Each structure stands twice: as structure tokens, then as C-alpha cells.
Amino acid sequence: MERNAEIYCPHCEWRPRPEDRWQCAQPCAAIWNTFWTRSVCPGCGVKWPQTQCLACGEWAAHEAWYHYPPVVEKVARTSQEHSVSES
């Protein structure tokens, strides 16, 4: 099962909206939502390792913006299933 990430600034927790845009500084100046392409510029193909927050102005590793819910451990469920089947 795939987990969906919540996307927000690791500094101020601002959440980008679909209409928010970033601009490629070099070489093409394309404008796009960096979270639609996981920081790869659609104009020139540059993968930006850092993303600047449009709210607080701080830079952070692009991947640090993706916050995943905790993984639910299957160990407890598996133990319960074994207990039931052994009864």
C-alpha cells in the first residue's frame, strides 16, 4: 500500500497550494509548481535539490518537504492472527 505524503515547509509548516509557483533560476526561467514534478524543471530538466519556502523564505532539501504518516506495524496484527489460528 502506498502512503501519501503531506507536503509542507520543514521550517514554518506552510503548505503549498496547487496554484503556487516557483521559477527555474538557470537556465530556462520556466514557472511551475515544483511539487508536481518532485523538483524537476519541466523546461530544462534540472532537478533542484533545495526548495525555497514562499512563506518564510527559508531553503530546505526538497525531499524534506514530504512528511509521511507513520508506518503501521503489521507485527501485532500478525501475532493476533497466529494466536487465533492456533486456538
Domain positions in the chain? 6-86
* Alpha-carbon distances, residue 16 vs 2, 8, 19, 51, 72 (angstroms): 22, 7, 8, 11, 27
Sort 43 into a burial class: Cβ within 10 Å, 0-12 / 13-18 / 19+: middle
pLDDT digits (tens, 9 = 90+) for 13-62: 999 999 999 999 877 999 999 999 999 999 999 999 999 999 999 999 99
> What is the pTM assigned to this prediction?
0.75
